[in-house]
Amino acid sequence: MIGLLDSPTNGKISIDGIDTTTLGDDEISSFRNKKLGFIFQFSNLLNDLSVLENVLLPRQIAGTNSIAEKDARDLLKTVGLEDQMNKRANKISGGQAQRVAIARGLINKPSIVLADEPTGNLDSVTSDTIVQLMKSMAKKLNQTFIIVTHERETFGNVDKVITIKDGRAFEGNQPSEMEILV
């Protein structure tokens, strides 16, 4: 629901002081693009586009292209992919693709980045790299990451842990089905 992909049956979801439950479909799409970044378990890159073009997609959708390419290049440099910018997305490794997904999730300078199992399909060494990258980006950009994972131990120290078990949320470490790290 935080990603505005589903609506609550009661209550409201406020992001940056805006009650999102009052927004229409087009407004939700626009709000989601501007205020939320997404990183999925599978990078969901478009294979026919270059790495740079994949990072630029959210800016193109938002129609805010004025300095988009510079921002995209800077983000790709920050995630260590400045030498991969012109490669097609299907020509890079899984770990590289996940770093592109992180850059794409940050390109619009969202209020919140939602990461759904961002290390789920990666080996342990690459997972550690991705976790450290997300943590450093969160600090460097003063960015909020909300991470959903079944692999709590992979993420080490985080600011807050919310555990969901049997449809109920608990703050702190509990026996879990799923954990949300903030």
Task: Tell me the three-class secondary structure of 58-111, residue by residue.
Answer: HHHHHCCCCCHHHHHHHHHHHCCCCCCCCCEHHHCCHHHHHHHHHHHHHCCCCC
Q: Which residue has the higher pLDDT, 64 or 79?
A: 79
pLDDT reported for residue 34: 86
Give the angle subtended at the CA of 58 by the CAs of 155 and 4, to the nearest 5°: 65
Specify whether the CB–CB gap between 164 and 178 falls below 8 A: yes
pLDDT digit string, tens, across residues 111-126:
899 988 888 877 888 8
Specify whether the CB–CB gap between 1 and 13 falls below 8 A: yes
Question: What is the model's pTM?
Answer: 0.81
Specify whether the CB–CB gap between 180 and 171 falls below 8 A: no
Q: Which residue has the higher pLDDT, 100 or 41?
A: 100
Least confident of 3-12, 87-96, 160-169, 170-179: 170-179
| Pair type for strands 112-116 and 36-39 | parallel
Specify whether the CB–CB gap between 130 and 102 falls below 8 A: yes
106 Cβ neighbours under 8 A, 6+ residues apart? 37, 75, 113, 137, 141, 143
Least confident of 78-92, 100-114, 117-131: 117-131
